[in-house]
């Protein structure tokens, strides 16, 4: 077969697979022990865009988190000294990220005849794009609020969102709306550029015991 061009999907995969000591060394898969030693597990994490579920004692968690902070989406305290069978079964709150509500709106402005799709996060972020985020897996956008008079404001979707990462050039969201669902990554090439890209990161469905 001819050489395949590197696709965006494979770039995502490469990005989502950090060099991780637990994947390169032998580790246990006992839910009542840290994956890297025989201590009781204290913390469990869902990471690598929802693909991996790991648990550690305090010491090994800190060590591991330092290397993988960019790839960790959820962290929960373990109940009864045993990692959950499925991460989502653990009723403890997620310690990482900020939870807020959001709405997707299509807004047309009277003064200059412009229209934008907006994703408005109640935590204060305002994403504006020429493209409908529910119809495209990747959109270009900027963080802005239009000051104009609205002549049409249509609610497209709403729900809760967890801001998993909020850095200067990269942000990560876990949207739980009716239509907007999944982990999205927003990136900018440089801090001088007003343009950002928002793309859906593939999450294997209910891959709970990974
Ligand atoms: Zn340990």
Q: Which of 173, 207, 184, 162 is nearest to 52 (CA)?
A: 207
Q: Tell me: the pLDDT tens digits for 29-86?
A: 899 999 999 999 999 999 888 888 999 999 999 999 888 888 888 899 999 999 999 9
Residues 59 and 121 placed together within one structural domain of the fold: no
Query: Does 71 map to a domain?
Result: yes
DSSP state letter for 88:
G
Query: Does 38 map to a domain?
Result: yes
Q: Which domain holds residue 140?
A: 102-208
Question: DSSP string covering 25-65, please?
Answer: S-----TTS-TTSSSPP-EEEEETTTTEEEEE-HHHHHHHH
Residues 108 and 88 placed together within one structural domain of the fold: no
**Cα 202 to ligand 1 centroid, rounded to whole Å:** 30
Residues 70 and 126 placed together within one structural domain of the fold: no
Phi-psi region of 78 (alpha: psi -120 to 50; beta: other; left: phi over 0): beta
**Cα 77 to ligand 1 centroid, rounded to whole Å:** 15
Q: Tell me: the pLDDT tens digits for 78-132?
A: 999 999 999 988 999 888 888 899 999 999 988 778 899 999 999 889 999 999 9
Query: Does 58 map to a domain?
Result: yes
Query: Does 2 map to a domain?
Result: no
Average pLDDT over residues 7-24: 44
Q: How many domains does the chain have?
A: 2
Q: Which residue among 66, 92, 118 closes a domain?
A: 92
Phi, psi for 208 (deg, rounded to 5): -75, -35
**Cα 40 to ligand 1 centroid, rounded to whole Å:** 8
Helix (H) or strand (E) holding 160: strand 150-166
Query: Does 4 map to a domain?
Result: no
**Cα 183 to ligand 1 centroid, rounded to whole Å:** 29
Residues 73 and 108 placed together within one structural domain of the fold: no
**Cα 58 to ligand 1 centroid, rounded to whole Å:** 7
Q: Is the pLDDT of residue 161 over 90?
A: yes
Residues 203 and 118 placed together within one structural domain of the fold: yes
Q: Which residue among 32, 67, 92 closes a domain?
A: 92
**Cα 39 to ligand 1 centroid, rounded to whole Å:** 5
**Cα 83 to ligand 1 centroid, rounded to whole Å:** 13
Residues 110 and 177 placed together within one structural domain of the fold: yes
Model pTM greater than 0.85?
A: no
Q: Look at residue 73 and give its three-state secondary structure.
A: strand
Q: Is the pLDDT of residue 208 over 50?
A: no
**Cα 95 to ligand 1 centroid, rounded to whole Å:** 20
Query: Does 25 map to a domain?
Result: yes
Question: DSSP string covering 122-143, please?
Answer: TTS-EEEESS-TTT-SEEEEEE
Query: Does 5 map to a domain?
Result: no
- Which residue has 């697979």 as its token pair? 17
Tallying the residues shown for the chain, one arrives at 210
**Which of 3-12, 98-107, 110-119, 141-150 has the least mean pLDDT?**
3-12
- Which residue has 């942000």 as its token pair? 171
């Amino acid at each position: 077969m001819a050489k395949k061009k590197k696709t965006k999907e494979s770039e995502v995969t490469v990005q989502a697979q950090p060099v991780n000591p637990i994947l390169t060394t032998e580790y246990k898969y006992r839910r009542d022990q840290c994956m890297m030693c025989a201590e009781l597990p204290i913390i469990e994490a869902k990471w690598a865009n929802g693909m991996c579920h790991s648990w550690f004692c305090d010491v090994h968690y800190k060590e591991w988190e330092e290397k993988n902070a960019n790839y960790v989406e959820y962290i929960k305290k373990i109940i009864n000294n045993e990692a959950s069978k499925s991460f989502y079964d653990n009723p403890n709150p997620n310690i990482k990220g900020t939870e807020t509500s959001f709405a997707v709106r299509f807004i047309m402005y009277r003064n200059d005849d412009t229209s934008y799709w907006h994703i408005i996060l109640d935590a204060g972020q305002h994403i504006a794009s020429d493209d409908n985020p529910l119809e495209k897996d990747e959109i270009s956008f900027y963080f802005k609020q239009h000051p104009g008079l609205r002549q049409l404001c249509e609610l497209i979707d709403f729900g809760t969102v967890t801001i998993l990462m909020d850095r200067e050039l990269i942000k990560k969201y876990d949207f739980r709306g009716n239509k907007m669902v999944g982990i999205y990554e927003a990136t900018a090439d440089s801090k001088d550029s007003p343009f950002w890209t928002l793309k859906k990161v593939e999450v294997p469905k209910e891959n709970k015991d990974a």
